[in-house]
Amino acid sequence: MSSPRTETFSDPQEMAWRAADWIAGLIAAKDGPFRLALAGGSTPRLLYGELSLRMIDWSKVEFYWIDERFVPPDHPDSNYRMAAETLLRHIPAQPEDIHPMPTDGDPDDAARRYEALLRTTYRAEALDPARPLFDFVLLGLGGDGHICSLLPGSPVLAENERWVAPVAKGRPEVRLTLTYPCVQSSRVTAFLVTGRGKADAVKRVRAGDMSLPGGRLKPDGELVWLLDHDAARLL
Ligand code: 6PG
């Protein structure tokens, strides 16, 4: 198995800058809608800020989320809020193209509503590796090796039917997450990881360590690692 494409950068700002150029190029090269699945957490903030400065035909882009904390959209821990503050409020994106995960009502019902939206978008019952749902999935990586809210030891790791599921344990708040079958359905998948604290997880996940949620990921399309020197230090 050849090693996935890996790019290492001197610092998070340079990484955000170069990643924004790369993603802008992928959007420009695509005919028709570009389905972009956004990561949460803190690492993507710089990238979203850089993307907001790029000359991009945003009318082509549909925004989705890979996971969400089950809090109101204006809550400080909301992944939607983070993306809105750093990117969406600074670009001419149409409200009908922005698809945050719902965080009202019951978490299981909210997960089913988001899945229904994705299935309507995909227009088929089963995900076909030859026709990925997303054009680009951005992933962060937890120091414990989690991706999205696919947390170590969580039953959601074994979910192969649902596309979106709630995660009740493992974090202070309930989460909604794309499941493996859904998050893997992408033409390009990129890990964006910074910091010394992530170096061990980067090394193990990149080596396919199945004991870590990230190590089980098998994207349908291209996989790319974007790392700063600290996160790449054990490679
Ligand atoms: C979330 C994320 C999660 C995140 C990692 C890394 O909602 O928290 O989607 O998977 O990417 O926890 O988080 P940091 O970027 O904050 O280190």
pLDDT per position as a tens digit, 14-37: 999 999 999 999 999 999 999 999
Distance, CA of 203 to CA of 231 (rounded, Å): 9
Q: How many other CB atoms are there within 10 angstroms of residue 48's CB atom?
A: 22
pTM of the model: 0.97
State how far the Cα of 7 lies from the Cα of 123, in Å rounded to an integer. 35
DSSP 224: E
Locate tokens 């998070």: which residue? Answer: 12
Residue 149 predicted with pLDDT over 60? yes
Q: Do residues 52 and 84 touch, judged by C-beta distance below 8 A?
A: no
CA of 31 to the centre of ligand 1 (A): 31
* Ligand 1, atom nearest to 43 Cα: 15
Ligand 1 pocket by Cβ (under 6 Å): 39-43, 67, 79, 140-142, 146-149
Q: Which atom of ligand 1 is nearest to the CA of 149?
A: 10
Q: Which atom of ligand 1 is least distant from the CA of 175?
A: 7
Instruction: Give the separation between CA 178 and CA 229, rounded to whole angstroms.
Output: 29
Extract the tokens encoding 22: 């790369």
Q: Give distance in angstroms: CA of 6 to centre of ligand 1.
A: 20
CA of 90 to the centre of ligand 1 (A): 22
**Cβ neighbours for 8, distance < 8 A, ≥ 6 positions apart:** 227, 228, 229, 232, 235
CA-198 nearest atom, ligand 1: 17
**Cα 195 to Cα 12: distance, rounded to the nearest angstrom:** 9
> Using one digit for the tens of pLDDT, what is the confidence trace for 84-142?
999 999 999 999 999 999 999 999 999 999 999 999 999 999 999 999 999 999 999 99
Mutate to test the pocket of ligand 1, among 47, 146, 176 (most ligand atoms within 8 A of CB): 146
